[in-house]
């Protein structure tokens, strides 16, 4: 095996990423080495590319970025017993500690010591990735590498959508980005009665309609109240999935929910936002913040749903070889794409 590999690196404190040669990772006794086949570009990666305030505060330089991937195991640490060479896999990108109360209770996704590959630690935008065996998620034959490369964001969607019982419920999704669209697809798959998704971007709303059975609404042009009337909702929506990080969307969601409605929040608003808490209190709204995936219950559920007919492939709108990574990032930064996948087997 070679001693170096190609990787996308945040090589300096400036806008952009750079494709360059890096040393091949050395694994420890509890790690595996994964040959990366495909990776997905995430909104977090766009923040790192742009080198915005969050990235400057968070990301050490230099760093191999990226955390959405699929590949195969090519080396095993000496203590690894339940995985095999050649095994196809994806993996949980949150590296947890083992000493917190949450971690010791098995609530790994709540561990305050969590560090992220591609954000705090060397990431997956590379030909090879070192990963603790604990974090490896084997892929069944029904989940190919392209879908495997977007399981991380699908997991965000699944974690958010399954925060509340959706069977027979009317669901409002605010934000038709890739994760919002996948959350709408999950809601329909698990038995929601009606799913409405809102945005102000017609392209992304059209993509949502192609991916799943939902009602897209451009709230810059249409009145959500008219949609409620068309669907014969007597009071409003039962569950809201807020994926946009837009304060106006959250305000609209609160007004559109029934008394006692429930909201799962994944979208992150920029800075501090004013909230009419009295309205939330008087409507008896339950709000749950969602971060990452439930490790590993979300992975189990989403793979089971993919094996059982959940289809999110159309959320992938662009595919590039790694040599054309700049075009892939341009597509994501345009705001008019779905998921963008980079193929590391193509130069």
* DSSP reduced 3-state for 235: coil
Residues facing 68 on adjacent strands: 40
- Please, are residues 80 and 133 in contact by the beta-carbon 8 Å criterion? yes
Using alpha carbons, select from 131, 39, 37, 138 the residue that is nearest to residue 82. Answer: 138
Residue 117 is given by DSSP the state B
- Please, are residues 117 and 124 in contact by the beta-carbon 8 Å criterion? yes
* DSSP reduced 3-state for 190: coil
* DSSP reduced 3-state for 242: strand
Residue with tokens 């009317």: 170
* Residues 6+ positions from 321 with CB-CB distance below 8 Å: 342, 343, 346, 347
Using alpha carbons, select from 134, 243, 231 the residue that is nearest to residue 186. Answer: 243
Burial class (CB in 10 A: 0-12, 13-18, 19+), 117: buried
Catalytic residues: 44, 47
Angle between helices 151-161 and 297-307 (to 10 degrees): 100
Distance (Å, whole) CA 215 – CA 227: 8
Number of H helices, E strands in the chain: 12, 18
């Amino acid at each position: 095996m070679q001693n170096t590999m190609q990787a996308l690196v945040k090589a300096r404190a400036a806008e952009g990423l750079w494709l360059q040669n890096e040393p091949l990772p050395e694994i420890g006794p509890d790690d595996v080495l994964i040959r990366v086949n495909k990776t997905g570009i995430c909104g977090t990666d766009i923040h790192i590319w742009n080198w915005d305030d969050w990235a400057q505060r968070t990301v050490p330089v230099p760093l191999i970025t990226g955390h959405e991937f699929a590949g195969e195991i090519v080396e095993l640490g000496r203590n690894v017993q339940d995985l095999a060479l050649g095994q196809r896999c994806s993996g949980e990108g949150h590296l947890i500690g083992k000493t917190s109360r949450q971690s010791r209770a098995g609530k790994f996704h709540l561990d305050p010591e969590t560090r992220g590959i591609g954000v705090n630690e060397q990431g997956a935008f590379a030909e090879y990735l070192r990963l603790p065996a604990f974090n490896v998620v084997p892929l069944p034959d029904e989940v190919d590498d392209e879908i495997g490369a977007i399981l991380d964001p699908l997991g965000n969607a699944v974690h958010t959508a399954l925060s509340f019982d959706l069977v027979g419920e009317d669901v409002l999704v605010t934000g038709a980005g890739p994760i919002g669209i996948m959350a709408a697809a999950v809601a329909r798959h698990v038995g929601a009665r009606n799913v409405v998704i809102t945005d102000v971007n017609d392209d992304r709303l059209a993509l949502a309609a192609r991916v799943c059975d939902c009602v897209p609404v451009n709230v810059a042009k249409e009145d959500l109240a008219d949609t409620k009337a068309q669907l014969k909702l007597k009071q409003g929506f039962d569950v809201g999935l807020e994926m946009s990080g837009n304060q106006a969307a959250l305000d609209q969601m609160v007004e559109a929910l029934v008394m006692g409605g429930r909201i799962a929040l994944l979208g992150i608003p920029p800075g501090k936002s004013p909230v009419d808490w009295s309205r939330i209190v008087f409507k008896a709204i339950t709000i749950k913040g969602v971060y990452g995936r439930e490790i590993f219950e979300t992975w189990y559920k989403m793979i089971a749903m993919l094996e059982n007919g959940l289809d999110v492939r159309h959320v992938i709108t662009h595919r590039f070889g790694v040599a054309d990574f700049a075009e892939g990032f341009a597509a994501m930064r345009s705001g008019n794409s779905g998921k963008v996948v980079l193929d590391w087997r193509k130069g």
